[in-house]
């Protein structure tokens, strides 16, 4: 019986403790909301949050969620749309150009392109030059350049490249990222407004638990703001500076301009290619012959010496066989003579 009474008393005390805690949290968050509303203009969404969470008994996680929901409601949409009108008036278009160029004057073309990039206010993002390895049969060189050119000077740069080299392939793409830019800018402004409201709320807050909750949210906001700022800067850079990718080939013969494929044109091009191939083949043979002449002389001398040695050995073997045959013939002749004398 005594145990039952003790249990009832314990439950009653525990229930009263929860009630007092809830009342304390309600008073605490009502005060914070009231102070924040005095320092900032309250919009319709904010009033809804205040009405919903200001008249409810809150405790523990519910109180934290109410505080964050109120802070989020403070962001609203006011003050964001005005900035978007200015952004929408300027389209954000990313332009990329790809060029394949042939040249017989490789060094001068590379130097000319680099000078034009600097002259037009751009910069080189990447440059690769390769070719002419010692053991490679291909003596032509190859270059790969990624240039960033101001958008307003793009046409001038492309024209300069065409004037200095033979462009065999050209392609370009344009991507409109205005909506993506506006959306990112809106999210960034909303977070900035929320951050200001949270700072104002943090100044009025004295509870350690509330301070930890607000600081946690502010840390998350700072991280998101950094991400949005990086994304906006990247888009601005891609819009302000167009990307031009240039692939340069060093060739001995420039590709002719395409003409209508008539029989006469086909015969002309065929004969031209045949004569060119014969000429290049003869040149390559002459170069190969003189380059490898020391090897040819060395192997000719080795082969000559081997031939002389084999010839001498063969001569000795033949003489030896001849002497053996003479001795055999003489012996057979002597036997014949002896047999004749016996008969007599």
Q: What would the pLDDT profile of 56-88 be if each residue is shown by its tens digit?
A: 343 444 444 444 444 444 434 333 444 445 545
Percent of the chain at pLDDT > 70 equals: 62
Q: Which helix (H) or strand (E) holds 167?
A: strand 166-176
Q: Which of 53-67, 245-259, 271-285, 314-328 has the highest mean pLDDT?
A: 245-259
pLDDT band at 343 (very low <50, low <70, confident <90, very high): low
The pLDDT value given to residue 317: 80
Q: What are phi and psi of 134, to 5 degrees?
A: -65, -45
Separation of alpha carbons 46 and 75, rounded Å: 8
Q: Which residues on neighbouring strands pair with residue 126, listed in sequence order?
A: 146
Separation of alpha carbons 143 and 158, rounded Å: 17
**Statement: residue 174 has pLDDT above 80:** yes
pLDDT band at 328 (very low <50, low <70, confident <90, very high): low
More confident residue, 22 or 242: 242
Mapped onto helix, strand or coil, the DSSP state of residue 105 is: coil
CB atoms within 10 A of CB 285: 10
The pLDDT value given to residue 275: 80
- β-strands 123-131, 141-150 pairing: antiparallel
The pLDDT value given to residue 38: 43
The per-residue pLDDT for range 178-192, each reduced to its tens digit, is 999 999 999 999 999
The pLDDT value given to residue 161: 94
The per-residue pLDDT for range 155-166, each reduced to its tens digit, is 999 999 999 999
Nearest residue to 165 via CA among 255, 242, 272, 95: 255
Note whether 96 and 245 are within 8 A (CB).
yes
More confident residue, 84 or 169: 169
The pLDDT value given to residue 94: 95
**Statement: residue 115 has pLDDT above 60:** yes
DSSP state of 257: P
The pLDDT value given to residue 286: 83
The pLDDT value given to residue 308: 86
Tokens of 27: 């008073």
The per-residue pLDDT for range 138-153, each reduced to its tens digit, is 567 889 999 999 999 9
Nearest residue to 105 via CA among 143, 60, 138: 143
Give 263's Cβ-side CA count (13 Å radius): 0
**Statement: residue 196 has pLDDT above 50:** yes
**Domain regions of the chain by residue span:** 13-76, 91-255
DSSP state of 55: T
The pLDDT value given to residue 43: 38
Per the prediction, the chain carries an average pLDDT of: 74
**Statement: residue 323 has pLDDT above 50:** yes
Tokens of 186: 């809106």
Nearest residue to 165 via CA among 212, 215, 113: 113
Kindly tell me the burial class for residue 86, based on how many C-beta atoms sit within 10 Å of its own C-beta (0-12, 13-18, 19 or more).
exposed
Residue for token digits 């005095």?
A: 38
Residue for token digits 């290619």?
A: 273
Long-range Cβ contact pairs of 20-27 (< 8 A, separation 24 or more): 21/59, 22/57, 22/58, 22/59, 23/57, 25/57, 25/58, 25/59, 25/60, 25/63, 26/56, 26/57, 26/58
**Statement: residue 32 has pLDDT above 50:** no
């Amino acid at each position: 019986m005594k145990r039952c009474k003790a249990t009832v008393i314990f439950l009653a005390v525990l229930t009263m403790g929860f009630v007092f805690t809830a009342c304390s949290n309600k008073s605490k968050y009502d005060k914070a909301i009231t102070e924040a509303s005095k320092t900032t203009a309250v919009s319709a969404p904010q009033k809804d949050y205040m009405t919903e969470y200001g008249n409810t008994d809150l405790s523990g996680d519910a109180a934290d969620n109410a505080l964050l929901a109120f802070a989020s409601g403070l962001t609203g949409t006011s003050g964001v749309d005005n900035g978007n009108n200015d952004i929408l008036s300027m389209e954000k278009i990313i332009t990329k150009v790809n060029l394949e160029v042939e040249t017989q004057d490789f060094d001068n073309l590379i130097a000319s392109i680099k000078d034009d990039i600097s002259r037009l206010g751009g910069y080189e993002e990447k440059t690769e030059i390769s070719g002419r390895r010692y053991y490679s049969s291909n003596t032509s060189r190859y270059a790969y350049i990624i240039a960033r050119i101001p958008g307003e000077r793009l046409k001038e740069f492309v024209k300069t490249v065409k004037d200095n080299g033979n462009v065999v392939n050209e392609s370009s793409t344009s991507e409109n990222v205005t909506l993506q830019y506006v959306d990112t800018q809106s999210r960034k402004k909303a977070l900035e407004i929320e951050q200001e409201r949270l700072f104002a709320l943090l100044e009025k807050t004295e509870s350690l638990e509330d301070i930890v909750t607000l600081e946690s949210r502010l840390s998350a906001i700072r991280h998101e703001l950094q991400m949005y700022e990086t994304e906006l800067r990247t888009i601005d850079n891609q819009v302000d500076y167009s990307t031009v990718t240039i692939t340069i080939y060093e060739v001995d013969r420039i590709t002719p301009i395409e003409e209508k494929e008539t029989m006469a044109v086909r015969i002309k091009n065929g004969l031209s290619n045949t004569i060119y191939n014969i000429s290049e083949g003869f040149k390559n043979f002459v170069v190969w012959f003189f380059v490898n002449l020391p090897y040819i002389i060395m192997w000719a001398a080795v082969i000559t010496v081997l031939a002389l040695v084999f010839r001498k050995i063969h001569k000795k073997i033949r003489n030896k066989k001849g002497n053996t045959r003479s001795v055999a013939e003489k012996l057979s002749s002597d036997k014949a003579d002896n047999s004749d004398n016996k008969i007599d």
